[in-house]
Amino acid sequence: MKEIKKEKQNRKRRKRIRRFILCLGVLSLCLLLFQCVLKKDDSLSGYETEVNEIVEIDESLQQEKLNAIVEEGKMNVNYLAEAVFKGKVSEKFNVKNIKNNHYPIRFSLYDEAGNCLYESKKIEPGYELSKIELSKRLDKGIYACKLKVGYDKEGNVSSVFPISIEVR
């Protein structure tokens, strides 16, 4: 019987030791995770090797640069909002590439359904186009069309303007 009691005590002792070791392991793991999460690493990564002081640009200089960018992209176009055609040929029509523009322009004329009626060649700054011939004949009447105008260079943003066409 004494041996059985000793065996039971030994089992209890081993259980306590295992629990103690398990608790120590869990506690160590928690401390390690806590340290990793809260640890501040002041060392710089490869991408952070150049840390420089911010240099402020004078507002007037900044405004001058912005004005230059806007001026470079500005487009000044003049056109007649009402055109008259006899058949396919214009009697009253005009698109001007104003002299102060930096680049040649191109324009396209579209009917109400979005079909292209005319596509210009490039028009240099200081020149105008005052007579065109439509690519297809329209019936007599008045049409609400669109004039798409942009600089003659790739990737250019263009503007679309309303134009009324009367076919006689």
DSSP string, 105-158: EEEEEE-TTS-EEEE---B-TTEEE---B-SS---SEEEEEEEEEEESSTT---
Question: If the chain, 168 residues long, is cut into consecutive pieces of 10 residues, what is the mean pLDDT of each piece?
Answer: 78 85 82 69 62 82 84 82 95 93 91 95 94 95 95 76 95
Q: What is the predicted pLDDT for the residue at 52?
A: 79
Taking the model in full, what pTM does it have? 0.59
Q: What is the predicted pLDDT for the residue at 26?
A: 83
Q: What is the predicted pLDDT for the residue at 37?
A: 66
Q: What is the predicted pLDDT for the residue at 41?
A: 55
Q: What is the predicted pLDDT for the residue at 164?
A: 96
| Neighbour tally for 60: CB within 10 Å | 7
Can you name the CATH fold of 75-167?
Answer: Immunoglobulin-like (2.60.40)
| Spatial distance between the Cα atoms of 97 and 14, rounded to a whole number of angstroms | 97
Q: How far is CA 141 from CA 84, 86, 161, in A?
A: 10, 11, 20
Task: Kindly provide the b/e burial profile for residues 13-32, where b requires at least 16 CB atoms within 10 angstroms of the residue's own CB.
Answer: eeeeeeeeeeeeeeeeeeee
Q: What is the predicted pLDDT for the residue at 142?
A: 96
